[in-house]
Structure 1
Amino acid sequence: MNRSMDQLSAEQRKEMERQYAVYTHGTSQVIPGEELKEKIATSLLKNKPLKVKLGLDPSAPDVHIGHTVVLNKLRQFQENGHMIQLIIGDFTGKIGDPTGKSTARVQLTDEEVERNAKTYLEQFGKVLDQSKVELHYNSKWLSELKFEDVIELAGKITVARLLERDDFENRMKANKPVSLHEFFYPLMQGYDSVHLESDIELGGNDQYFNVLMGRHLQEQFGKEKQVVLMMPLLEGLDGIEKMSKSKGNYIGITEKPSEMYGKAMSIPDELVIKYTELITDLSLDEKLAVRQEIEQGRIHPRTAKMNLAKTIVRMFHGVAASQDAEAQFQQVFQQKQLPTDIEEVLWEGERSISVPNLVVSLDMLPSTSEARRMVKNGGIKLNETKVTNVNEEVAVEDGLVVQVGKRKFKKIKLN
Structure 2
Amino acid sequence: MKTLPDNPNLDHLRQQAKDLLAGLRDADPTATLTQAQAALAAQYGFRAWTDLKTEVDRLRGQADTADPALARAIADRYGLGEVVGEMRSVARPDDTGRRWSLPTDQGRWAVRTMDTWWPIVDAETDVALQQAAAAAGVLLPAPVRSRAGNIVESIDGHSWRTYEWLHSGPPLSAPASSSVTREVGRILATIHGLALPVDRISPWHRSRLSAVGWPELAATATAARASWAAALREAVPTLTDLDAVAPDGPAPEPVLTHNVLGPASTRLAPDGRLVVVGWEHAGGQPPSWELGNALLDWTVNPGGGVNTAGARALVDGHRAKAGALPPLDLGMFRGAVHSLANYVFGQVQTALDTHETEDRRYADRSVRHLLSNLPTRAVLEQLLAVATSAHRRPPSPSSLGHPTVH
TM-score by length of 2: 0.31
| Higher RCO (CA-CA < 8 Å; seq separation 6+) | 2
Which TM-score applies when normalising by structure 1?
Answer: 0.30
Which entry has the higher C-alpha Rg, 1 or 2?
Answer: 1
